[in-house]
Chain A
Amino acid sequence: MTRLLLQNSRNSRIFFVLVLLSACIAPFLVPPGYLLHLLVMFLIFSIMALSLSVIVGFLGELTLGQAGFFATGAYVSAILAVDYGWPFWLSLPMAGLLSGVVGILVGIPSFRLQGPYFAIVTLGFSQIIGLVITNSISITRGPMGISKIPAPEINLPFLPPVVFDTEKSFYFLVLCLVLITIYVIRRLLVSRTGRAIVAIRENPALAQSIGVDLYKYKILAFFISTSIAGVSGAAYAHYVRVITPHLSDVYYTTAALIMVVVGGAATIAGALVGAFIFTLLPEALRFVEDARLLIFGVILFLSIRYMPQGIWPALLVWTARLARKANSSNGGADQ
């Protein structure tokens, strides 16, 4: 899979630029309002899906607690902004950092386990995070949630202030966050740390024998993943501007998990494709709105049954096969 990507690295770079260009043009083509709102949600959930792909795709462990860190990030940033007047540009990184710290605290005990045990314990921790948010009323306002979260704004001297309070402006803000996330994850993957993480997935015993400290790298991967989840939560909080403890519901974990698994767990593009499908699909399925979860379940099953690597890798293999076929038929004609 990675070899395939490397071989086509020039092609994939062109492809990336094309996608980026269309992402920049999209808000001007799409009518403002609901559709643009969906695109913003797609970008926010892309960050969430990317965070999950670090664990599910690259480390190869199933975590069911991601919504807990999404909620942590949202609450940290919202509380800092509303109660302490922090600007978004400081509260967002702080949300990522604190979610990551909570991630380390959760990871230290959880990574002593693996497989289904790890999945269950992370699920338990995210439920605990939800309970703490719901019941720490003096800090989080409990089940009522936090409202009137300020929109991000830039106040430079001698320039008019820029406020990101429309769908279009927020779209570009989150697009930058998505690009930063992709950059961070790509850098991570080619780094020593990233190679160690992938080695753990491929063969833990072998990785350990050549000196990779499994436990340390797993927790490091978890820190990175939960920080990114926290950032996506913070972005969500300042975009929707109202948050409730429901953000830690298993629903959000499942949603992100489906995006990652259906899109392609071990690829960055796969997570994005999955997020795109699952934020826009509900729109296409509006006529069966009540059966949405059922359809998601069926899609999840069909995808793990028939496309175990996910849609994106399946597409790549398919296009590569088409290209090879085209090449060989051309070669035949030349002779």
Chain B
Amino acid sequence: MSDLIAQLAVFGIVNGFGYAIAALGLTIIFGVMRIVNFAHGEFYMLGAFVAATLIATTGVPYLVAIPLSSVVVGVIGIASERVFIAPLHNRSHLTLLLSTLAISMIFLNAAELIWGSAPRVITSPFEESLYVIGPVFLTGQRVFIVAVGIVVVVGLGLFLKYSTAGKIIRATAQNPEGAALIGVNIGLVRSMTFGFGCGLAALSGALLAPISMTYPVMGQALAIKAFAVTILGGLGSLPGAIIGGLTLGVVEAIAGGTLSTAYRDLFSYAAIIIVLLLRPQGLMGAAR
């Protein structure tokens, strides 16, 4: 029993890193733009499909396809922000939310038209290796996800803390007017941040694709999980997104594996609702 729980917990941590990367994107977008990106799941889906297409058409190895796909989807994100969000930036929350909903519908349908709705599999070279740590079995892909997750988390933290671009992003998140006063191009920062957040969603999609299926509606379930994670950790809080992601991954895996698989997805919704009711500011207590 404890072996099973250990195995489930490790699987949960792996998934949790995937959720955390996507949620980091969501929370950065919210922090800077005050927008809940309802198209986040679709950018996650695009990440997986673009990686699959790159591998199939150009024959690049999986390791190259992942960053390439994130960059491509990031650029799509920037373009989407220019077209769908920038013209509405001084409108209400409700309007902006609806606009991201429109983006989500457009990309979901576009993906169905381009790639068809049948699931496809991305094969990763890491899938062939197997690691045994005590009672826990792990494929190389899962180890790889954790490794990338740690690199992304640390890299993102350093980027935001020390680089000029990171400081500009933080300044804009704290006080857009103040940042504009000292010469920051707010519009540009918004576009870049949106693209960056979408790129993170795509990275998560390309990473998790080999251990799950790739199909157009795959992003919808993830979007809700990413909402759950950001709310668990507090919208706009980076450490919150990481802790939230790992928590949700582990809780979901253990509860889903031991209690009820039918209600597996219930845990993310229940987590959102319970946390919002008890601690609306999120576990990490970021300002709302």
Contacts and interface: CB of A to CB of B under 8 A. Distances in A.
A125 B105 contact: no
Interface stretch (B9-17, B85-93, B148-156, B163-171): B85-93
B102 A121 contact: no
Contacts of B106: 293-294, 297-298, 301
A254 B220 CA distance: 13
A198 interface: no
A293 B102 CA distance: 9
Given A109-B273, A123-B224, A128-B266, A297 B109 contact: yes
Given A300-B101, A304-B98, A292 B109 contact: yes
B144 interface: no
Contacts, number: 109
Given A127-B265, A131-B263, A304-B98, A120 B109 contact: no
Which label, helix, strand, loop or mixed, suits the secondary structure of the A interface? helix
B36 interface: yes
Contacts of B231: 117, 120
Interface string A282-311: 000000001111101110110011001000
A131 B266 contact: yes
B272 interface: yes
A265 B108 CA distance: 25
A304 B273 contact: no
A308 B36 CA distance: 19
B273 A124 contact: yes
Contacts of A182: none
A297 B105 CA distance: 5
A296 B273 contact: no
A135 B262 contact: yes
Q: Which interface class (under 10, 10 to 19, 20 to 34, 35 or more) fits B?
A: 35 or more
A334 to B, nearest CB: 44
A113 interface: yes
A62 interface: yes
Contacts of B266: 128, 131
Contacts of B224: 123-124, 127
Contacts of A261: 98
Contacts of B104: 297
Which label, helix, strand, loop or mixed, suits the secondary structure of the B interface? helix
Contacts of B105: 254, 293-294, 296-297, 300
Contacts of A112: 276-277, 280
B1 interface: no
B221 to A, nearest CB: 9
A307 to B, nearest CB: 12
A111 B3 CA distance: 42
Given A112-B280, A127-B265, A119 B99 contact: no
Contacts of A119: 36, 97
Contacts of B95: 304, 308
B98 A305 contact: no
A119 B280 CA distance: 14
A291 B228 CA distance: 30
A15 to B, nearest CB: 29
A297 B93 contact: no
A285 B224 CA distance: 30
B254 to A, nearest CB: 18
A116 interface: yes
A297 B102 contact: yes
Interface of A: 56, 60, 62, 109, 112-113, 115-117, 119-121, 123-125, 127-128, 131, 134-135, 250, 254, 257, 261, 290-294, 296-298, 300-301, 304-305, 308
Given A128-B266, A304-B88, 18 more contacts: A109-B273, A109-B277, A113-B276, A124-B268, A125-B269, A127-B224, A127-B265, A128-B270, A131-B262, A291-B109, A294-B106, A294-B110, A297-B103, A298-B102, A298-B106, A301-B106, A304-B91, A305-B87
